[in-house]
Chains A and B, each alone.
Chain A
């Protein structure tokens, strides 16, 4: 099983600042990685797939990078609606696995 490790667990950021979230895979997943955003009481929402492809309707301030085992989600200028929990997921190998999440909170 590929273990996905996200860091940090919590990220405190001021509105308008840049946020950088990390996701590490225990073995290479190529570029087969997705990112999700989840707000309290809501289902997750797909942000990125194939590492860097934004899903429909996702603003350009969200970007993804990396390959192999190291990945980054960057939010260039945090808006109030971006404070949420973010999960990465590899879908290159079975079982599919998710990271533990990074909570982005208001500083």
Chain B
């Protein structure tokens, strides 16, 4: 069974940083591209970033303007999102999802940016 488990969310002040993690199991992690997708409270889905299976290709939403960094460790079956200079508008549930058409999702981790 494919499982994706996110962690690392929490309450942070504007300008702060967080590092999200997603641990994968039940499939060959190193063979799949991975994504971060977020959902602000009561809103729709917003793609954040994607990384190819090898890590060679990386894509970001333009709105992030270099504040977020995606990475992965295939030996640890893990995907990461380093988030810096956080803003109130970054408040959302952050999901990791497998493949570019998001065939499996984790339950998400809530990031709240507030003073």
Contact = CB atoms under 8 A, between A and B. Distances in A.
Contacts of B27: none
A3 to B, nearest CB: 12
A98 B101 contact: no
Nearest to B35: A96
B62 A95 contact: yes
Contacts of A49: 101, 103
Interface in B31-52: 35, 44-47, 50
Interface residues of B, number: 20
Given A43-B106, A43-B107, A96-B35, A89 B101 contact: yes
Interface residues of A, number: 23
Interface of A: 1, 32, 34, 36, 42-46, 49-50, 55, 87, 89, 91, 94-101
Across the A-B interface, the 6 shortest Cβ-Cβ residue pairs: A43-B105, A96-B47, A98-B45, A34-B101, A91-B100, A49-B101
